[in-house]
Amino acid sequence: MTKERLYLFDTTLRDGQQTPGVDFALEEKRQIAAWLDDFGIDYVEGGYPGANPTDTAFFSNKATKSATFTAFGMTKRAGVSASNDPGLAGTLASKADAVCLVAKSWDYHVRVALGCTLDENLENIRQSVEAIVESGREALIDCEHFFDGYKANKDYALDCAKTAFDAGARWVVLCDTNGGTQPIDVCAIVEHVIGEAGIPGERLGIHAHDDTGQAVANSLAAVNAGVRQIQGTLNGIGERCGNANLTSIIPTLLLKESFAARFETGITQEKLKGLTRLSRMFDDLLNRMPDPQAPYVGASAFATKAGIHASALLKEPETYEHVAPESVGNARRVMVSDQGGKANFIEGLARRGISVRKDDPRLDTLIALVKEREAEGYAYEDADASFEMLARRHLGAVPAYFNVTSYRCVVERRINAVGEKIDLAEAVVKVEIDGEEKMSVAEGKGPVNALDVALRKDLGKYQTLIEDIELVDYKVRILNGGTEAVTRVMIETRDGQGRHWTTIGVSDNVIDASFEAMMDSIVYCLFERLKAQKAA
Ligand SMILES: CC(=O)SCCNC(=O)CCNC(=O)[C@H](O)C(C)(C)COP(=O)(O)OP(=O)(O)OC[C@H]1O[C@@H](n2cnc3c(N)ncnc32)[C@H](O)[C@@H]1OP(=O)(O)O
Ligand SMILES: CC(=O)C(=O)O
């Protein structure tokens, strides 16, 4: 069976730019356009040339090699000709291959927002499309509020779409601008557009917002009803609740039989393996934490804590995975926690090079120990290094490199003569190494920082092994309120080669919990490095 072509239109750089808190710099736009182009996206909508200096500069050169480089704008205003409309002129002066204009298609909006007659709006759509076509570019029309407009005045919404189509628009895109339309309505309305307005599905697109959490479902419903272009964004960013998430749509189209058997896109299975990386690089550029529960690409998308799941998963991954994690460049994670059984632990230990047989009684006592400690407030699923140290200690494999005999920490606030507040923290740590006692004193920005510096100041013969490590993240969580409160501290450490590890401490005293996590971090580092030295 010949597959039909589906076209992917990315609006990360335009609708995504309308996300609260997102503001791309010129170089960032270039970078993202290059990623999308390389990934195999058909259209990259880069912004609105003429609306701001960044977008105008971005469109002064073509930013894609294969993808259709698309400028966004709005239809010309009533009362001016297309050639005299400054907004339209900005898009036509750009280096875009295609121009996508937003057009009103809800009569209510024409009256209230544009303040012109319904016929004038149709004329504006017609003349604007003709101007784009005359400039030699591909024309696209985003029919804004199409679904709401169709419900309010079906004939007028269809007239808008038909006017754009008849004037030569390559794509007429039906927009669920307010994001409230349900998949069943999207499906019925698209079928009516194809049937009644006579616009073939291969000339129709869908642009869905996520205000009821159904932008992906709406986009796929529109494809099932006949449209052949999908608009969306990386990681679903976009105005308000965001746009249809291409990071979910793309793998669904390529991996789910009901779509993969009927359609092809410009993205190969090989490129799809770069999807998780693309999604994470994009979050990194936005300086935001990736959503761990994002479909396909989230860190938890193929993770399991549950013992019953892990046991079956390790026998046959398909038992609990809807697609192979590698197909989207993600990875399976079997975690150890109080929800785990022997299968989780054997896998977790094997991944760390620790081999334990299923009938080894130490495995049962280790599982019991982890469950007991998690009940006290520890959480090992994200504290990889502390879990490893706990397991290795339990199996008798971690030497006592050094012994902390005491530590002390004082915090002082001074107020100087002009009333400025000056905070001072000082820590003293005494350690014993091979029978020799060493004392280190350090000042820090706060008590934890002072203790960290003092603890890592002089570990005698081990000092060179820990010199390149630094504490890069510190999280404190109070687990239950009131006088019974317990504090959980998670520390992330990084070494000079960019390796990261996380450790945990729990106590009713925040300093004590922090110190425990710091100690685990240093001992983990020494263990790994001495093991590597021995193996070399
Ligand atoms: C659904 C969407 O996401 S559409 C995209 C929305 N994105 C943006 O608006 C981001 C970029 N926009 C901008 O930088 C500015 O709004 C500009 C440069 C386009 C226009 O700025 P201004 O000329 O100052 O107008 P302003 O933003 O105040 O108002 C929008 C104007 O466009 C008109 N307009 C809105 N949609 C259309 C349309 N489809 N066709 C013609 N005119 C339109 C409005 O009626 C309003 O005109 P008015 O000032 O005469 O009432
Ligand atoms: C065009 C557009 O972004 C919308 O209608 O939502």
Per-residue pLDDT of 280-329, as tens digits, reads 999 989 988 889 999 999 999 999 988 889 888 888 999 999 999 999 99
Other Cβ atoms less than 10 A from the Cβ of 530: the count is 14
Per-residue pLDDT of 111-126, as tens digits, reads 999 999 999 999 999 9
ipTM above 0.85, yes or no: yes
User: Nearest 5°: CA angle at 89, between 88 and 94?
Assistant: 105
* CB 337 less than 6 A from any atom of ligand 1: no
Task: Report whether pLDDT(484) > 80.
Answer: no
Per-residue pLDDT of 412-454, as tens digits, reads 998 999 999 888 899 999 999 999 999 999 999 899 999 999 9
Mean pLDDT score of the chain, rounded to an integer? 95
Q: How far is CA 222 from CA 16, 87, 133, 134, 230, in A?
A: 21, 31, 26, 30, 9
- HSE at residue 263, side-chain half, CA atoms within 13 A, is 26
Point out the ligand nearest to the CA of residue 179: 2
Atom of ligand 1 nearest to the CA of 103: 39
* Cα 152 to ligand 1 centre (Å): 23
Percentage with pLDDT > 90 across the chain: 86
* CB 75 less than 6 A from any atom of ligand 1: yes
* Main-chain phi, psi angles of 352, to 5 degrees: -100, 15
- For a substitution probing ligand 1, which of 74, 125, 132 has the most ligand atoms within 8 Å of its CB? 74
Task: Report whether pLDDT(254) > 80.
Answer: yes
As to burial, measured by CB atoms within 10 angstroms (0-12 exposed, 13-18 middle, 19+ buried), residue 422 is: exposed
Atom of ligand 2 nearest to the CA of 238: 3
**pLDDT score recorded for residue 483:** 59
In this structure, whether the domain defined by 4-267 belongs to CATH 3.20.20.70 is answered with: yes
* CB 144 less than 6 A from any atom of ligand 1: yes
Average pLDDT of the segment spanning 479-489: 78
Q: Please, are residues 164 and 120 in contact by the beta-carbon 8 Å criterion?
A: no
Which residues are CB-contacts of 408 (< 8 A; sequence separation ≥ 6)?
427, 428
What is the gyration radius of the CA atoms in the chain, in angstroms? 30
Q: Please, are residues 196 and 204 in contact by the beta-carbon 8 Å criterion?
A: no
Can you state the angle between helices 26-39 and 275-286, rounded to 10 degrees?
170
* CB 177 less than 6 A from any atom of ligand 1: yes
**pLDDT score recorded for residue 329:** 97
Percentage with pLDDT > 70 across the chain: 99
Q: Please, are residues 416 and 423 in contact by the beta-carbon 8 Å criterion?
A: no
Point out the ligand nearest to the CA of residue 243: 2
* CB 104 less than 6 A from any atom of ligand 1: yes
Task: Report whether pLDDT(60) > 80.
Answer: yes
Q: CA–CA separation, 172 vs 204, rounded Å?
A: 5
Q: Which residue has the higher pLDDT, 49 or 341?
A: 49
* CB 14 less than 6 A from any atom of ligand 2: no
Q: How confident is the model at residue 481 (pLDDT cuts 50, 70, 90)?
A: low
* CB 207 less than 6 A from any atom of ligand 2: yes
Average pLDDT of the segment spanning 249-270: 98
Average pLDDT of the segment spanning 267-290: 94
DSSP 387: H
Taking CA atoms only, the protein residue closest to ligand 2 atom 4 is 177
Q: Please, are residues 313 and 332 in contact by the beta-carbon 8 Å criterion?
A: yes
Comparing 156-160, 303-307, 426-430, 517-521, the range with the smallest average pLDDT is: 303-307
Per-residue pLDDT of 374-392, as tens digits, reads 988 999 988 999 999 999 9
Structural domain spans, the chain: 4-267, 303-378
Task: Report whether pLDDT(482) > 70.
Answer: no
